[in-house]
Amino acid sequence: MKIAMIGSGYVGLVSGACFADFGHEVVCVDKDPRKIEKLEQNIMPIFEPGLASLVERNVTGGRLSFSGDLKESVKDCDAVFIAVGTPSRRGDGHADLSYVHAASEEIADSITKPTVVVTKSTVPVGTGDEVELILSKKLNADQFAVVSNPEFLREGAAINDFKRPDRIVIGAETEWAKDVMSEIYRPLFLNESPILFTGRRTAELIKYAANAFLATKITFINEIADLCEKVGADVQEVSRGIGLDNRIGSKFLHAGPGYGGSCFPKDTLALLKTAQDYESPVRIVEAVVQVNDQRKRAMGRKVIQALGGEARDKKVALLGLTFKPNTDDMRDAPSIAVAQTLIDAGAQVSAYDPEGMEIAAEIMPDVTMTESSYEAATDADAVVIVTEWDAFRALDLNRLSSLMTGKVLVDLRNIYHPADVGKSGLEYTGVGRSRGPMGNL
């Protein structure tokens, strides 16, 4: 199959490279000439494990190319995927569909054969109808079909998620569109990956419902963690105890500083706005968004409390800045709110992250970026583990302790055992790991 991927960001680039690896002929299109130039030099615009080698292999094999010319790229394709950004719109929180609409307009001017137009971007219910309306103004009904094919990629594990998916959701209204999509995903179907065919609006809602449910699991266990600290329970044992129930499952039950990234914050907000527009409020998701927003600054206050209630003129080192490990994505990262809370309280903040510091430096100009965990911790009164990078799982705690002025270690990801930290002379504070009147573990 010949495929065009409109948008060469996270979703478009990963999806395009994986489709090419299946043997399809793929061109990734982007309006940014600098991005295209770098991609042609095999310089990735994002950090994703394994992506550079995957792209290089398929470019060398002649299956993957890059272009800034949408009209030329689209004209002979069997399928055109729209994988442009849908950020939260300023003012009301709705998903901004201007890029989707603009891409649809250009596609309508460029199609030369019957083509399936696929929304890969995360879009609100009814967006496929709007895309169809845009195309129908310039094309006959037999020249195109609009399909919803939401992505379920985890940053840091996107290639594996694409090639070994839990499911493939395809929202199509015509049989020939289903046939085209079945052929595109045939390599995965042969591997027995389940393909769920639905109506287009159903597929659009599946994506939002999935992300909202996962965000709810995260927020639920975070609130349980707070309760654990009050009653003298251990949230990790609670998580294991409930996660062993197959009806609940263990994933996304890890207490921490709240969710961030490119999906959960904007998708939960967009779902709320859609529900409001249709006068069918989703109260649980409303609570999730509110609790998560408050939690990030609360983690900053947790650090201040660990410092004895006063952070002025103290140095705090943050280990990990990205919203999760194995990515350089800083969008809505909890570290931003944690750092700002500490700075507002008069603290000096240093930081180290294996991949995110270049982007973080622009967002957090008052934070001093360093070259290593130990440099960040030098002369610090407290060290805070914000993101659970593997590089932070086996720190030399004795060395860390010797470099610090104070002895406070705040583990917002619960990756260390309190007893191991105590042996190095550090005072451990975790999340949801309290002994009640005996103090923090």
Strands (E), 62-178: 64-67, 79-82, 115-119, 144-148, 168-171
| Cα–Cα distances in angstroms (integers) from residue 370 to residues 67, 202, 337, 373, in the given order | 37, 47, 19, 8
Q: Is the CB of residue 103 less than 8 Å from the CB of residue 26?
A: no
CA distance 261 to 334: 9
Active site includes 77? no
Nearest to 184 by CA among 200, 168, 202: 168
The token duo for 431 is 């999340």
Angle between helices 283-306 and 200-231 (to 10 degrees): 40
Q: How many CB atoms lie within 10 A of CB 419?
A: 9
> What are 168's strand-pairing partners?
195
Structure tokens belonging to residue 125: 């219910």
Order of all β-strands in the sheet with 348-352:
368-369, 348-352, 315-319, 382-385, 408-411, 427-429
| From 18, 77, 228, 263, the catalytic residue | 263
Q: Which residue has the tokens 């209204």?
A: 173
Alpha carbons within 13 angstroms on the beta-carbon side of residue 56 total 8
The phi, psi pair for 168, rounded to 5°, reads -120, 120
Joined tokens for residue 298? 């609360």
Separation CA 429–CA 439 (nearest Å):
9
SS3 168: strand
**421 CB-near residues (< 8 Å, 6+ apart):** 397, 409, 411, 428
Distance, CA of 369 to CA of 394 (rounded, Å): 21
Q: Which sequence positions are flagged as catalytic?
A: 263
